[in-house]
Amino acid sequence: MSKLQTALGYKFKDLVLLDQALTHKSWGRENKASDNERLEFLGDAVLQMSISEMIYKVSPELSEGMMSKFRSALVSEGGLARVARRIELGDALNLGRGEEQTGGREKVSILADALEAVIAAVYLDSYTQEGQGAVKQLISNLFGPEMELAEEFYENADSKTDLQEWVQKNKLGTIEYKITEERGPDHEKEFVVTLFVNGQEMASGTGNRIKKAEGKAAKKALAQLKGELV
């Protein structure tokens, strides 16, 4: 638990809470101990609220629909398990014999549930003295790297979706993205993507990933079509 607390950047005042958060129901049944299912329920709510607030603050241009998709990707089982693996949460779990033998420490569902339970444990352990400050800081630390990638993806997807809807609504034809230039060495590659609407060149965008360059081109093209400055 000491290693996990270091990875979390949080030191528990009540280690019983952390131990419960790490206890899978298979261990609980075998040892007649409390498991982490109730903590998981609370952690899910705390996480949803904190992630929603983070998205609201860092991505003011995202529509409500894209914000929902952004949040869903971050708090999906796969997203939670990815974060759990990064802090090696599986190594600290209390698992029953059956789960231990069948690779429970790497199961996506077990890791995701345990991470939510740990978040709830931090919330309960810190709330009296720190309010929501400690758990929000924890979630920011854990999900910051995930948010940077997801934010870029959904901002770009939003721009491309908005352009597609505008073009279809005004019957302007088809949209095509072409990589027109690649710059720099492989480890610092930059792509230039040119966007065409019905065969006519509209705008170009650059980025260290093709999707990022496409998103920038889409944003510029939509602004031009609407007669706005970019």
Q: Which residues are annotated as a binding site for Mg(2+)?
A: 40, 113, 116
Catalytic residue among 35, 44, 125, 155: 44
Q: Distance between CA 84 and CA 145 in Å, rounded?
A: 13
CB of 123 within 8 A of CB of 153? no
Q: Distance between CA 132 and CA 76 in Å, rounded?
A: 22
To the query of whether residue 176 is one of the catalytic residues in this protein, the response is no
Q: In what order do the strands lie in the sheet with 190-197?
A: 175-183, 190-197, 200-207
Catalytic residue among 35, 99, 116, 146: 116
CB of 17 within 8 A of CB of 125? yes
To the query of whether residue 106 is one of the catalytic residues in this protein, the response is no
Contacts of 190 (CB under 8 A, 6+ apart): 182, 183, 184, 206, 207, 208
Give the position of tokens 């997203």.
79
Q: Distance between CA 19 and CA 14 in Å, rounded?
A: 9
Q: Distance between CA 75 and CA 150 in Å, rounded?
A: 11
Structure token pair of residue 178 = 């072409």
CB of 101 within 8 A of CB of 88? no
Name the residues annotated as catalytic: 44, 116
